Structure 1
């Protein structure tokens, strides 16, 4: 999707739900000394300024990271580290969160097709050792799979601006698991009044995902009313990670 830019939505409640689970999964996967691979299909720019005009225009961060006190843990540690380096209005996207948690021997490969977002991603993550690719996310991850190291996690986080993206995300997951059976997948999706995410979950049913959904009100009266994460081949301890993320929205 060449029009979507996440800067308008960075730090909103859906980001907190997604990033709490992502950080928990990465912390769990890096407990053992064996290196892992981390890949993203739609990486964005990796680092956001919540005082930028895009973020201020929507005000969504004020309903998320601006309102919620993060509990002690890997996400809070990542946000604090990034803000120490980049200032109090900085907010890390998923690639930067991963970079804070992963170790030097772990592999990071990021797909981002949007030219401006890709350029920003290279500036933010390239010097930190990440592989940044400008290519279709699904094609790119499939082409790199199975990676070395074989143990790893893939974040699937499209914009869903096209209705067919729900079916496409499910089809991608099925293809990836066939090609890379060891992969764990974290698939984010928005919950909208039209309930389009049901097509995604139906397509994922053969993979028996662990599903986490939370609801929230961003004060707009329309649009996204919640956030979902479907975990495929979820690592041991994922239920506790999901439960901790959901408590942010109790």
Structure 2
């Protein structure tokens, strides 16, 4: 199923949580003068316009990044990447996770992005080509398994599926276990929605049993509209970099 397009939801509060933690972890990794690999399994188009009809229609960005950005300190990695995006593409531009990674990583680093949706893949390729990113029009989990362990071996993988298929919750723990078995030193970060039907509970229970030392961070927020089912979001991070837990606690205060 390829119906999901993140443009309707770009810049929402779930993005704020996911992107703030991603930027913190990537910024930590680039402090060391050693190359790294960044892999993303469900990349999207990479760059969004918050004044687009689709984004304005849902109003999620207005209740998300537009409402809370000033609560961040002026110079954390997330805000710096937002500023860099706007300087290059205009005030209404908003970076997806592939662009946040590309803006953070160095020439010595390697970027692999998987996106199966034809339109999103084309737009993503246009955005990230200047960074020599490897853009794969393939299934994200198959790509992740094929690429691991990557070269360089040090690095981070973001798994951010749209959860269009109900069985995603059932199969994701197995996918992550297979990836982690091949890449035991990799940072593996899974984003998941908190829905009114609590669909994530079984998945998180299995993941927590398999990876008891992983960092689990969840935030709650009001549904964007009365009929929306998402009331929060979470990140499950295996091999989280030092300080990520403290950063997650600071981030939680924005949602209190």
Q: What TM-score results when the alignment is normalised by the length of structure 2?
A: 0.95
Counterpart in 2 of 1:207? 211
Q: What is the distance in 1 between the residues matched to 2:127 and 2:11?
A: 17
Counterpart in 1 of 2:229? 223
Q: Which runs of 4 or more aligned residues in structure 1 lie more than 3 Å from their structure 2 counterparts after TM superposition?
A: none
For the Cα contact (< 8 Å) 1:60–1:218, is it kept in 2?
Answer: no
Cα shift readout 1:144-174 (whole Å, capped 9, x = no counterpart): 1111100110000000121111122221110
Q: What TM-score results when the alignment is normalised by the length of structure 1?
A: 0.97
Q: Which residue of 195, 199, 202 corresponds with 2:198? A: 195
Tell me the SS of whatever aligns to 2:67: coil
User: 1:142 deviation in Å?
Assistant: 0.7
Q: What is the distance in 2 between the residues matched to 1:199 and 1:158?
A: 17
For the Cα contact (< 8 Å) 2:223–2:229, is it kept in 1?
Answer: no
| Residue range with higher mean Cα deviation, 173-182 or 159-168 | 159-168
Taking only aligned residues, the RMSD between alpha carbons, in angstroms, comes to 1.1
| Residue range with higher mean Cα deviation, 228-237 or 82-91 | 228-237
User: 1:219 deviation in Å?
Assistant: 4.0
Tell me the SS of whatever aligns to 1:66: helix
User: 1:218 deviation in Å?
Assistant: 3.8
Counterpart in 2 of 1:164? 167
Q: Provide the aligned length of Structure 1 versus Structure 2.
A: 250
User: 1:203 deviation in Å?
Assistant: 2.1
Q: What is the distance in 2 between the residues matched to 1:16 and 1:235?
A: 19
Counterpart in 1 of 2:135? 132
Q: What is the distance in 1 between the residues matched to 2:198 and 2:105?
A: 34
Matches within 5 A, 1:1-250: 1-68=1-68, 69=70, 70-71=72-73, 72-205=75-208, 206-208=210-212, 209-221=214-226, 222-250=228-256
